[in-house]
């Protein structure tokens, strides 16, 4: 693995990916349609998928937090909580 700097961004060279011929053709077509490089197509796909996974992880964490607080104010109304704060 080689690392180098380009335009202030740290870059890493990874091993080449091996694709089936059909997938390689799809990649080439996508790059042409998007008027970009195949590398950029792959980079965008990885970032998009990473964002999806990141959001899913955050939602799962939020659900765990939200679930752990259920029942904390059992039998209390907003008004009674506000009244006890005014004391």
* pLDDT exceeds 80 at position 14: no
Mean pLDDT of 11-29: 83
Residue 70 token pair: 């259920």
Distance (Å, rounded) from C-alpha 4 to C-alpha 1?
Answer: 10
Q: What pLDDT sits at residue 57?
A: 93
Identify the CA nearest to 24 among candidates 11, 41, 48, 12.
41
pLDDT in tens, 28-67: 999 999 999 999 999 999 999 999 999 999 998 888 887 6
74 located within any domain: no
Using alpha carbons only, what angle is made at residue 76 by residues 74 and 81, rounded to the nearest 5 degrees?
Answer: 135
* pLDDT exceeds 80 at position 8: no
25 located within any domain: yes
Q: How many domains does the chain have?
A: 1
9 located within any domain: yes
């Amino acid at each position: 693995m080689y690392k180098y700097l380009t335009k202030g961004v740290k870059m890493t060279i990874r091993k080449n990916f091996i694709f089936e011929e059909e997938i390689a053709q799809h990649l080439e077509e996508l790059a042409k349609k998007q008027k970009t490089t195949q590398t950029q197509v792959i980079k965008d796909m990885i970032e998009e998928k990473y964002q999806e996974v990141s959001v899913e992880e955050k939602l799962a964490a939020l659900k765990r937090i939200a679930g752990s607080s259920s029942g904390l104010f059992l039998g209390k109304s907003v008004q009674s909580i506000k009244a006890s704060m005014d004391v």
